[in-house]
């Protein structure tokens, strides 16, 4: 927990690191601070499978 009593992540490999993981903006996500997991919902859904 940070000083504002909200869950926060630290040491997450995003930004200027290698390997660099992309975090999509605008999608829904759920942070499980106790389980140290970030669940990101899919941002794009297709009506039909791409062949």
Query: Rounded to 10 degrees, what is the CA torsion of 25, 18, 30, 37?
Result: 180
Structure tokens at 4: 């504002």
Residue 50: per-residue pLDDT = 55
- Kindly report whether the global pTM for this prediction surpasses the value 0.85: no
Residue 24: per-residue pLDDT = 76
**Is 4 part of any domain?**
yes
- The separation between CA 46 and the C-alpha centre of its own chain, rounded to angstroms, equals 21
* Number of folded domains that form the chain: 1
* Domain that includes residue 26, residue range: 1-43
**Is 51 part of any domain?**
no
Give dist(CA 45, CA 39) in Å, integer.
17
Q: Say which residue the tokens 């999509």 belong to.
A: 24
Residue 39: per-residue pLDDT = 85
**Over the stretch 1-51, which tens digit does the pLDDT of each residue have?**
557 777 777 777 777 777 777 777 788 888 887 888 888 887 665 566 555
Nearest-CA neighbor of 11 among 32, 36, 48, 41?
36
**Is 50 part of any domain?**
no
* Cross-strand pairs, 30: 39
Residue 46: per-residue pLDDT = 58
């Amino acid at each position: 927990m940070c000083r504002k009593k909200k869950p926060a992540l630290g040491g997450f490999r995003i930004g200027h690191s290698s390997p660099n993981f992309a975090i999509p903006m605008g999608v829904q996500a759920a942070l499980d601070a106790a389980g140290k997991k970030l669940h990101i919902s899919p941002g794009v859904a297709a009506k039909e499978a791409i062949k």
